[in-house]
Each structure stands twice: as structure tokens, then as C-alpha cells.
Amino acid sequence: MRRSIALIVVAGLVLGGCGTTTTKALTVKWMNEANQDRGYHALHADISKTVKYLRAPSSTQAELHTLCSVLNLEIHGANDHLPTPDTQATELLAKGYDTLATATTQCDEAATNPAKRAAAIENFSKGFGDLYFGMMRLYRVLGRTGTPR
């Protein structure tokens, strides 16, 4: 009887260990499936381009509408990959994507209004800051050195 119980306990421990995956391994898998590094760099480039147009008084409403609409789709696509295996990274990335989505709406509605353009630029900066810190958190989970560029 004791031997049977001991075998059941040992079998349970062995089988329980089979399904164990580390947060690091789950994060590697998530980063690959979400194509997170490439997506982060693409967002950075597209946000920089959009902010450049927002700062240029000669940019037309049509140009801003096109840039901001495409960027909004890109942001929502990236947000669809959440959650990450790490709660803190998920919270930072979600906050960043939300702020960036707000910025794209402000950008689209800014037209030639300098105050509205400035508000959109400020939210692009805040939102990307949260993305940056979310990526830093993912890098820490992965044991990567350096920063996302």
C-alpha cells in the first residue's frame, strides 16, 4: 500500500515536471510568434515619420490621415499579440499601445491646428516610452543585455 502511494506521488511529480516551462522559454516563444523585435522597430520608424509630418506646418490633412490611419492599424495589430508571458511587460506594452492609439486619433483630427498636433506628438512620445520600457522588461526576462534600439 505504501509502495503504491509512493509510486503515485513519484509519477505525479515526474509528470508535473514535464509540463513546466520557464517564463524565459515562454517569452522567447511569444517574441518569435509576435515578431516583437521587428514590430517594435517598425513602429518606431513609423511613429518617427508621423511625428516629422506633424511638426511640418506644410503637411496636409490628407497626408496626416493616411499616416495616422495606417499607424493605427499597425498599433492594433501589435496589441492583438498581448498578453505576453510576463505581467509587467504586458501592462507596459498595453499602456503604450493604448496611448499610441489615442495619438493616432489626435493626429488624424489635428489638421492644421498646432495645439492638436502638439497633443498628438506628446502622446506619441508617451506611448512609445511605455513600449520602450515594456521591451526593456522583456529583455530583462530574456537575459538580454543592452536596450532595444
Cα–Cα distance between 87 and 45 in angstroms, integer?
26
pTM of the predicted model as reported, rounded to 2 decimal places: 0.84
Between CA 142 and CA 132 the distance in angstroms is: 15
Write out the chain's pLDDT in tens, 149 residues. Answer: 666 565 554 444 444 444 457 999 999 999 999 999 999 999 999 999 999 999 999 999 999 999 999 999 999 999 999 999 999 999 999 999 999 999 999 999 998 999 999 999 999 999 999 999 999 999 999 999 888 87
The CB-side HSE value for 4 (13 A sphere, CA atoms) comes to 1
Domains of the chain plus CATH, in order, are: 22-142 (1.20.120)
Neighbours of 101 (CB within 10 A): 17
Return the sign of the alpha-carbon dihedral for residues 42, 45, 90, 28: positive
